A and B are shown apart, each in its own frame.
Chain A
Amino acid sequence: MHRFANPARFMRISTAVLPWCGALAGLLLATGLVLALFVAPADYQQGEAVRIMYVHVPAAWMASFVYAVMAGASAVGLIWRHPLADIAARAAAPLGAGFTLVCLVSGSLWGEPMWGTWWVWDARLTSVLVLFFLYLGYIALVNAFDDPSRGTRAGAVLALVGVVNLPIIKFSVDWWNTLHQPASVFRLGGPTIAASMLWPLLIMALGFTLFFVTMLMVRMRAALLAARLRALRMAASEDEARAPRRRPRAVGEAD
């Protein structure tokens, strides 16, 4: 792990990997969308509206997955002081919040025709809403300090405290009577969803994951470049303070 702690090394690796990652993500998302919108069958009860599932479910999986990544990166940053781990956690947070928002909004749009309501306070929806606020709280906390490293470390503790929400989200449909349907893919006994729907779903999920990895690398590179820019600016202003450049003097001006 510490072989990759060198930011310059990360920049070199990501420069090589990023275009391929992005291209593959685009390809998978395009394929997945075509399969989801045109090839996959309509549901016998829900009709064509079931196709929202191909956006809603991968977004939901990503919401929890990105939080787990963020918490894992926070733990690595706290325990081993791995420099890239802290940057990764900060970079992942807005992406996770975005996926959670997509999940909530697409779910709401799906719920209206199917359940007759835009929202219901059942366990699954409430716990995902709490996840959204945990993301927002993390983003607010890491940006609330003048010293960025203090903010990152405080956020790391918060991210680890909020991990307790992830099993609650996963098992909420088993532990409570919920309007949201129980697990159909990640369950003991295997998926109950039809194969013709499962494959487009998995392709979309893989596309979302690669999209996340691509955007995470982009944001981490941006953070590293911003840090380098800050360091260069500070060095330049220190040089300026120590030995100010002489400007050409006008006629009659004193030394």
Chain B
Amino acid sequence: MSPFLRLVRRDLALSMRQGGDAATVLAFFVLTVILFPFGVGPEPVLLARIASGILWVTALLAALLSLDRLFQADYEDGSLEALALTALPLEAVVAAKCLAHWLVTGLPLTLLAPVLALLLHLDSVAYPALVLGLALGTPSLSLVGAVGAALTLGARRGGVLLSLLVLPLYIPVLIFGVAACEAAAAGFAARPHLLLLAALAAFAAPTAPFAAAAGLRQALE
């Protein structure tokens, strides 16, 4: 197996062993979505109107939750230094960790979203756009989040600072993701918005690892 895939497998094994990560993120997602009917009232028409927004914002926040642990554990026990010294470029290390992070957080969020959309009375015609949008958008969230996680490694109050740095950069993904969902619910084509989400992911995939690797090198100096 290539070193890249071995690193992905190692990260996945670590997350499974620690167990908490995916479950916590999903639990946060579900609980936060459930808060909204209590907050704005259970009226189906109102909930259907704001469902796509609620689902996307809470998915964003849930993805944000697990980000500060992306590099922290490896940084603390010295494995990040060891990874930096391997033949695998640091950019590839970042990409592998992002892939593992997405498999453990983004993918479960995407798969759970339709169930929560039921709770929010989202129009069923919008479900494919919701799932496809989240599937295309959550990789960007992991990638851009990795940049923030790398830059705040070792900072004071790193977790809160990470949110402050990363949320402005998440806004385009949020805008197009919700637009795709709303367009589908209104009977319009969601394709342009989904294509733009794919474009954002395609832009983030080659560039974010470089920025994150630069941040990691600064932390390791």
Contact = CB atoms under 8 A, between A and B. Distances in A.
B14 to A, nearest CB: 25
Interface stretch (B41-49, B117-125, B131-139, B146-154): B146-154
Given A141-B161, A154-B218, A161 B154 contact: no
Contacts of B165: 137, 140-141, 158
B151 A145 contact: no
A176 to B, nearest CB: 10
B171 interface: yes
Interface residues of A, number: 21
A134 B168 contact: yes
Given A144-B158, A145-B156, A157-B151, A126 B171 contact: yes
A40 B198 CA distance: 48
A144 B168 contact: no
B155 A137 contact: no
Nearest to B203: A164
Contacts of A136: 164
Contacts of B151: 141, 154, 157-158
A126 B175 CA distance: 11
A144 B218 CA distance: 14
B152 A144 contact: yes
B171 A130 contact: yes
B157 interface: yes
B211 interface: yes
B205 interface: no
Contacts of A153: 218
A230 interface: no
B204 to A, nearest CB: 10
Contacts of A157: 147, 151, 211, 214-215, 218
A179 B152 CA distance: 37
Q: With a 10 A CB-CB cut-off, give which of B171, B211, B218, B219 has the most chain A CB atoms.
A: B218
Contact of A144 (B161, B215, B219): B161
A160 B211 contact: yes
B152 A154 contact: yes
A118 interface: no
Contacts of B219: 150
Contacts of B167: 133
Interface in A19-69: none
Contacts of B171: 126, 130
B13 interface: no
Nearest to B213: A157
A146 interface: yes
Interface string A140-168: 11001110001101100110111000000
Interface string A171-210: 0000000000000000000000000000000000000000
B202 interface: no
Contacts of A161: 147, 169, 211
Nearest to A168: B172
A141 B155 contact: yes
B154 A150 contact: yes
Contacts of B221: 150
Given A144-B161, A145-B156, A130 B168 contact: yes
Interface string B189-220: 00000000000000000000001001100110
Given A133-B168, A137-B164, A144 B211 contact: no
Contacts of A134: 168
Contact of B218 (A137, A146, A150): A150
Interface of B: 147, 151-152, 154-158, 161, 164-165, 167-169, 171, 211, 214-215, 218-219, 221
Interface of A: 78, 126, 130, 133-134, 136-137, 140-141, 144-146, 150-151, 153-154, 157-158, 160-162
Closest CB pairs A-B (n = 9): A144-B155, A133-B168, A137-B165, A154-B151, A130-B168, A153-B218, A157-B214, A137-B164, A144-B156
19 contacts: A133-B164, A134-B168, A140-B164, A141-B155, A141-B161, A141-B165, A144-B152, A144-B158, A150-B218, A150-B219, A153-B218, A154-B152, A154-B155, A154-B215, A154-B218, A157-B218, A158-B165, A161-B147, A161-B169
